[in-house]
Amino acid sequence: MDILDDLKYRGLINQVTDEEGLREALKKPVTFYCGFDPTASSLHAGNLLIIVIMMRLQKTGHHPIALVGGGTGMIGDPSGRSTERQLNTKEVVDGFSESLKTQLSRFLDFDHGTATYLNNSQWLGKLSTIEFLRDVGKHFPLNYMLSKESVQSRMEAGISFTEFSYMLLQSFDYLNLYENQGCTLEIGGSDQWGNITAGLELIRRKGHEKPAFGLTFPLITKSDGTKFGKSMGGAIWLDPEKTTPYEWYQFWINASDDDVVNYLKYFTFLSRDEIEVLADEVRNHPEERKAQKTLAREMTKLVHGENALTEAEKITDALFSGDVSQLTAAEIRQGFRAFPTFDAPSKEPVKLVDLIVEAGVASSKRQAREDIGNGAIYVNGARRTQLDDVLTEQDRIDGRYIIIRRGKKKYTLIKY
């Protein structure tokens, strides 16, 4: 199966400018690029799709260029947006660009020539207004630009000349990479189709004859129609400081039966046969959630590594079983970010009854005594039933945490 057929099986092809021409070109090594505008300090789960596609192409012998938009990021892409972006300062954009370079280097090796990192501020920052208008702008009739969906969708609400010019800047990126890097393929999400085809048009109008191509991939949504890559806490980030490996693992393991097989196709490097076996498991034994567990393992290994996967599974098992006493302080910080946390005002011993009232586990001392007497209170996974129980330094995990559970699932973290 060639790379285009593999992408088709995985549901990853949305539009191709010349499929047969591209298929023929891909029989030899092709240099291709994808752009990442630095609008935040981290990429997110939605960006991961395009990174994985770059890795797929690289595995079949093609050369990826990861282009971070230090220049275009100063302007703002109107694609897929109903309002103008808030413009960041150069210092902020430069900082975001460096963060993205670091993240991308975990997936694409920039140090040994197998992948290339570039920042379009290298050429856009040197481009004068007159030069840009003469050498780029003159090749784009106004009616051509107005026909693009990214512009049409904004006409009623309004679009500034700044964002209107984004298409020309991205087109210049493709031309620059075509002429100086031998790049003949641009890939991106389906919302980038207009920008990609504009770049191809500029290459053609500049008189170049060597074929160049564009390839887009569908934007992912969940089966219920909600946006992919979001959780109750917001975006799911690749940065472990923003989304911990445990939270990342939980995002994937909680995929619905309707979504999980597609996610296995989109994001993992499992073979077609392996995916079909898991699809059968979803149909015949959905309660075992083998596909979700496989997806969570593969995605956590890919983004955070084997050690982080081991920690995430350990935390998951501890929370499911209630046996949290074996968790380290670092694992507790990961696993309990979404749970209520109470900062203990003192390191002195404290009565259990008083602590669970102060921490909001129980609404009153009467309720606290009832919960303890009924066996509903657990400290670090162990049931506590004595009304006069006192918690001391020996009860603190790594000297810093006590985990109180009321009933089966209601956890509260006490932090010292």
**Matching residue, tokens 């949290």:** 324
- How far is it, in rounded angstroms, from Cα 74 to Cα 67? 14
- Please, which residues bridge with residue 230 across strands? 235
Q: Can you spell out the DSSP letters for 125-164? A: TT--HHHHHHHTGGGS-HHHHHTSHHHHTTTTT---HHHH
Nearest to 35 by CA among 112, 117, 94, 99: 117
Q: Is 230 part of any known ligand binding site?
A: yes
Contacts of 245 (CB under 8 A, 6+ apart): 300, 303, 304, 308, 309, 311, 312, 334
Which residue type occupies 385?
A: T
Is residue 263 within 8 Å of 302, Cβ to Cβ? no
- How far is it, in rounded angstroms, from Cα 100 to Cα 106? 10
Contacts of 389 (CB under 8 A, 6+ apart): 351, 352, 353, 372
Q: Is 416 part of any known ligand binding site?
A: no
**Matching residue, tokens 């752009």:** 35
Q: Is 394 part of any known ligand binding site?
A: no
Which residue type occupies 245?
A: P
Is residue 139 within 8 Å of 123, Cβ to Cβ? no
Is residue 328 within 8 Å of 311, Cβ to Cβ? no
- How far is it, in rounded angstroms, from Cα 401 to Cα 394? 11
Nearest to 77 by CA among 185, 156, 189: 189
- How far is it, in rounded angstroms, from Cα 220 to Cα 49? 9
3-state secondary structure of 213: strand
- How far is it, in rounded angstroms, from Cα 324 to Cα 318? 5
Q: Is 33 part of any known ligand binding site?
A: yes
Nearest to 76 by CA among 147, 164, 172: 164
Q: Which residues are annotated as a binding site for L-tyrosine?
A: 33, 166, 170
Q: Which residues are annotated as a binding site for ATP?
A: 230
